[in-house]
Amino acid sequence: MQILQITDPHLYGDAGGRLRGVETDSSLSAVLDDAFSRVPGYSAVLVTGDLVQDDASGYLRFRSIFCNLRKPVLCIPGNHDEPEAMRRELQGAPFQICGTHETDGWQFIMLDSYDPGHVGGRLRPEELARLDDTLARSPKHAMVCLHHHPVVMGSRWLDTVGLADTEAFWRIIDAHPHVRAVVWGHVHQVYDGRRGNVRLFATPSTGAQFLPFSERYAVDSRPPGYRRFDLHADGRIDTAVHWIESLPMRHSAAG
């Protein structure tokens, strides 16, 4: 079973809107063209936050881009989202906001780490309880998805705006050995790590990237990208990040 992860498209209501030198709408479209042609048999699209750039009318663009898909579009909010508007504008198929999605022996638990007024994220007690309950109820292989990074990325500025109180999160993950992966957005770069038997993944934005291991905010020159997951019935995961090299990035220090 194949899943596409796209993340941090940062759309505006205006299709010509640009962020960090990238026209976010056309960049997302180029990513999707590549993803859908390279992985035509995908079962769902996972979108790990920052669907819009502080602009609720961006959800109308998001909706128009995805509404004709005949596959689930699984969405979670990021710090640049407006969760109420997101739920209002993305109602009904193919969209699902947070919750759990099950398919082919796997479950995707989508957590809301949005913390109003903060760039960093936080999982409310009820969200942590939902994670624990869902994992306790179903023994299916689990992919846990959220926007904010629950590990240190090694980038000083970015590590001040990750997930708060990670201990409680990891306590739950560690208690359920059928968690196969934790997947996030927010960091606009690749991460491929491991915690015991749990695979850990971050994925480049469909727009501009952040420079890995940078002390201060810095935009990378890598092009837009996305990730594919090949999820096996025995819980194994194969994955690859695909970069859209045909979209060269323009450097821009400010966003």
CB atoms within 10 A of CB 229: 25
Strand partners, 241: 227
Q: Match 């099950």 to its residue by tokens.
A: 102
Considering only residues 3, 5, 6, 8, which one is a binding residue for Fe ion as defined by CB under 5 A?
8
- By beta-carbon proximity to Fe ion, the closer residue of 5 and 134 is 5
CA distance 227 to 241: 4
AA letter at 230: D
CA distance 2 to 123: 28
- By beta-carbon proximity to Fe ion, the closer residue of 7 and 96 is 7
Contact between 81 and Fe ion by CB under 5 A: the answer reads: no
- By beta-carbon proximity to Fe ion, the closer residue of 68 and 160 is 160
Give, as ranges, the residues between 196 and 255 that touch Fe ion (CB under 5 A).
Answer: none
- By beta-carbon proximity to Fe ion, the closer residue of 24 and 100 is 24
**Min separation Cβ 7 and Fe ion, Å:** 7
Considering only residues 50, 82, 112, 220, which one is a binding residue for Fe ion as defined by CB under 5 A?
50
**Min separation Cβ 233 and Fe ion, Å:** 33
Contacts for 107 with CB less than 8 Å, ≥ 6 apart: 100, 101, 134, 138, 140, 141, 142, 143
Name the residues that contact Fe ion, by CB under 5 A: 8, 50
